[in-house]
Structure 1
Amino acid sequence: MLRNKEIRILLFLLIGVSVTGTFLVFIINPMAGLITFIVSFLIIYLALLFTLKRYKEIEDLSGYLRDISNGNYSMDIRDNEEGELSILKNEIYKVTLMLSKQGEYLKKDKEALADALSDISHQLKTPLTSMMVMIDLLREEKLEAEKRIEFTKNIETQLKRMEWLLTSLLKLSKIDAGTVSFKKDKVLVGELIKKALNPLLIPMEIKEQKLFIDGKENTSFIGDINWTTEAIVNILKNCIEHTKNEGIISIFYDENPLYTEIKIKDNGIGIEKEDLPYIFKRFYKGKNASDESVGIGLAMAKSIITNQNGDLSVKSKKSEGTEFSIKFYKEQK
């Protein structure tokens, strides 16, 4: 405590004033001087005792801060008493809780990154192994021309699949990192649906699937048409893949004072009940997933929509079809 220059000056001034006052009073009245000396001594003693207590509390807080810097957030120093030190303790406790939460989030992020890298490695391992085998076969001089063409096409297919996977993962990582700047334009749902359907009309025609669209012409929401198109395409792809030939794909959209809703429905094979809670999880493949599926399309759709003040949900019954519901909520003014 006495290492503090300000305390030393204060103590010097208190002693100086007390000695001077006591001396002057003692000259006038010895008894009064004695009383003044005792009172002065007690005042200085109590002041030092109070200051010492404050220093002890500050030292405890310093030790607590050192524990925090070492990653120990378990101590509870909340103080319900009045005073500036109590306020400081409570503020430090709030910061401690915040740091603890951030530590938990960082740990979860690291675990998620490790899982994602593991999943990516698994997804790339299969096509790479397949391509290596086919390349070895292509080296054989006696290989038939038809087989050579077949293997070459297979390699091309696997390369395109890997390109799509890596591109999708890059987009997802950008969204997760918050580096994607979603536009806030007025998007007409009719135009959005038309744009999303454009690359999917041929696959639907090959499977002779019927398409029904119903919605008001002026239905709109505030968002990014390009990113939302990506989300709608992934949802529609899922419906097309899981709907048999001559099946039906239906799209309904409407708007109310709270949100704009888009419903995409099929009459396909449906989703197993136990798969429903995980259908939007990255790399999750349900029981009815095709061999070509990598389980990333719906995860991307969910991420794109939720980052635009929206929500994506699903209802499904086995053999009765699936319905995806997209809601873009209106911002309150």
Structure 2
Amino acid sequence: MRILANRKIKHLFWWIALFIAGFSSISIVSVSLQWKYSVWCVLVSAILMGVFIVAALYLYFRKQDQIIEDAVTQIREYLSGNQDARIDCDEEGELYRLFHEVNSLAAILNAHAENEGRAKYFLKDTISNISHQLKTPLAALNIYNGLLQEESKDFPEIREFTDLSEQELDRMETLVQNLLKMAKLDSGTIVLEKTMENLSEMMDCVQRNFTYQAQQEEKKLIFCGGDMVTLLCDRIWLMEAVSNLVKNAFAHTKAGDTISIQWKQFASIVQLVVQDNGSGIHPEDLPHVFKRFYRSRFSKDTQGVGLGLPLTKAIVEAHSGTIEIDSDLGRGTTFTINFLIPTKL
């Protein structure tokens, strides 16, 4: 029997069998000899047997409880990040067999995590190498295209093609940069340098970056929020996330439309909202907008590469925040970012 493979269980059964045998022997002897107090002798023996059996069971289960508590402690250690935590399973028995399987599972999870980590680093290094390799030809193409633009001032048709070439080169450069950023975030090689930042000052920087574009495209750009709102964040990466949302708003609005960026501080969260009254997003596309390289069959945008919003989501989540989207087709889109304010309990 497997249950008797455990030495402690085997000893418990032996002790219980010994107590029962002793009680039975005393009872048989006292009854067969017809002692005057044989009834009392049987009664006392039964009581003593019961006490010894209860004591033996108590000691056994107390030891088992301690073993399980130790196992739970090791499991919690593992869940807390200690990958070397293991349950002691040197003895035999079904319980220790279970512990052995748990240890095996932990080893398998460690191996998978290590393989995944290597894969992420390989992906980051690969994309990084490709990105750096592409920078040189892209820079050269930009120079060549700039020379062609200078030479084609008197040739409208050629000038139109060189302008289109410039747009595509800018698009390629944006794609390369976004791929590199996504790879760094995925691999976990980026350590966010979080400091307490004034959100109003950060949004002023974002506003300056897009003011000229808003004027050129005849769109209204509104920034409003509390001057004293602060947030523990990585300034550069958070501005990247907000800028991607503003770029997305520019891509889906037309002349005369409005793009607004608002920020507020509540009791437990800091909220940042990017809203526009542009074309909106089709309901079929809403569940997929944060997927990489997703292209809607309803979208007329031919310039997007489908990385801006996934990158924004990754940055927000790296700050332990959440991002939600609400959109009405033909009426506009609203992105709401919430950051939990750390509290000391």
Q: State TM-score, norm by structure 2.
A: 0.59
* 1-structure distance, mates of 2:105, 2:300: 43
Shift in Å at residue 257 of structure 1? Answer: 3.0
8 Å Cα contact 2:117/2:187 also seen in 1: no
Within the candidate set 215, 234, 237, 1:205 is matched to 215
206-215 or 192-201, which deviates more: 206-215
Pairs aligned (count): 233
1:170-185 mapped onto 2 (5 Å cutoff): 170-185=180-195
Report how far residue 223 of structure 1 moved: 0.5
Aligned equivalent of 1:27: none
Which residue of structure 2 aligns with residue 228 of structure 1? Answer: 238
Q: 1:274 to 1:147 in 2, by over 3 A?
A: same
Residue 298 in structure 1 maps to residue 306 in structure 2 = no
> Are 1:315 and 2:322 counterparts?
no
Aligned to 1:159: 169
* Residues 85 and 177 (structure 1), Cα distance of their counterparts in 2 relative to 1, 3 Å cut: same
Superimposed CA distance per residue, residues 215-239 of structure 1 (whole angstroms, 9 cap, x where no aligned partner)? 2211111001111001100001111
For residue 313 of structure 1, report the CA deviation from its aligned partner: 1.1
Distance change (3 Å), C-alpha of 1:157 and 1:215: closer
Residue type of the partner of 1:182? L
- The alignment partner of 1:201 has SS state of helix
Q: C-alpha offsets along residues 69-103 of structure 1, whole Å, 9 cap, x if unaligned?
A: xxxxxxxxxxxxx9834564333322333455567
Instruction: Check the 8 A contact 1:197/1:233 in 2, yes or no.
Output: no
Task: Report matched runs for 1:132-171 at 5 Å.
Answer: 145-171=155-181
Displacement of 1:170? 0.5
Q: Is the 8 A contact 1:285 1:295 kept in 2?
A: yes
**Structure 1 residues 149 and 212, CA, compared in 2 at 3 Å: closer, same or farther?**
closer
Q: CA deviation at 1:259?
A: 1.4
Q: C-alpha displacement at 1:147, in angstroms? A: 4.1
Structure 1 segments unaligned to the other structure (5+ residues): 1-81, 139-143
- Larger mean CA deviation between 248-257 and 172-181 belongs to 248-257
Q: Report the counterpart of residue 190 of structure 1 in structure 2.
A: 200
1:3 counterpart residue number: none
SS in 1 for 2:301: coil
TM-score, structure 1 normalization = 0.61
Q: CA deviation at 1:304?
A: 0.8
Q: Which residue of 1 aligns with 2:91?
A: 84
Partner of 1:264, secondary structure, is: strand
Using the aligned pairs only, state the percent identity.
Answer: 31
Question: Secondary structure of the equivalent of 1:312?
Answer: strand
Moved more, 239-248 or 149-158: 149-158
The answer as to 2:341 corresponding to 1:330 is: yes
